[in-house]
Chains A and B, each alone.
Chain A
Amino acid sequence: GAGVSQSPSNKVTEKGKDVELRCDPISGHTALYWYRQSLGQGLEFLIYFQGNSAPDKSGLPSDRFSAERTGGSVSTLTIQRTQQEDSAVYLCASSSNRGRDIQYFGAGTRLSVL
């Protein structure tokens, strides 16, 4: 595709349920980031994948959060046992070193935990 694609665009879930958020980066981009943004606030870094290197997971807020990137392309962010404070917009971005690290963002997944 032409840009970063995230699905679903909106997700409503009940407290305690698990959710999976998907990110399709731009083809050929080696770097992939997940961020969380609450109510138009700042970006909270979650995790960073770069090529085949071990991901930087330093931003994951708890062990309920995990992410994987299969085949260096599609990434899935999983939140287990969701809590109301997990409600936010989850943004994915990808970048290429050839583009000097400009990040291209998806439209995000708006997660609402009831």
Chain B
Amino acid sequence: AQSVAQPEDQVNVAEGNPLTVKCTYSVSGNPYLFWYVQYPNRGLQFLLKYITGDNLVKGSYGFEAEFNKSQTSFHLKKPSALVSDSALYFCAVKPGGYQKVTFGTGTKLQVIP
């Protein structure tokens, strides 16, 4: 069975500093990996995905994530945090084919002005 771990319930970072939101996964075969973001009082939005190819994936709003197969990780990063990045971030994984997606428990990112 597949699983996703987001070890931090909350991450605090000062505006302008780099941010990292951690995610590790377990899945059979090659994974499809995703990050979604949920802004306050809004629905979940797709941020970026890794399917195959370059381990560094770039997504919306200046976010990127690095796939590390040996560490089974897919950490979300941004070089310079904005206050508007404050939101709830979810990592998700699925195997290939017609299999369901599994979400992590979410990490609340708080960017401090």
Contact = CB atoms under 8 A, between A and B. Distances in A.
B44 A45 contact: no
B82 to A, nearest CB: 20
Interface stretch (A10-18, A35-43, A64-72, A79-87): A35-43
Interface residues of A, number: 26
A88 to B, nearest CB: 14
Nearest to A41: B106
B105 interface: yes
A35 B34 CA distance: 17
Contact of A33 (B38, B101, B105): B101
A43 B98 contact: no
B51 A100 contact: yes
B103 A51 contact: no
A43 B46 contact: no
A42 B32 contact: no
Nearest to A4: B43
Contacts of B94: 101
A107 B100 contact: no
A31 B38 CA distance: 21
Contacts of B38: 40
A97 B46 CA distance: 15
B43 A45 contact: no
Interface string B84-108: 0000101010100010111111100
22 contacts: A35-B103, A42-B90, A42-B103, A42-B104, A42-B105, A45-B103, A91-B44, A95-B101, A100-B49, A101-B34, A101-B94, A101-B101, A103-B44, A103-B92, A103-B101, A104-B46, A105-B36, A105-B43, A105-B44, A105-B45, A106-B43, A108-B43
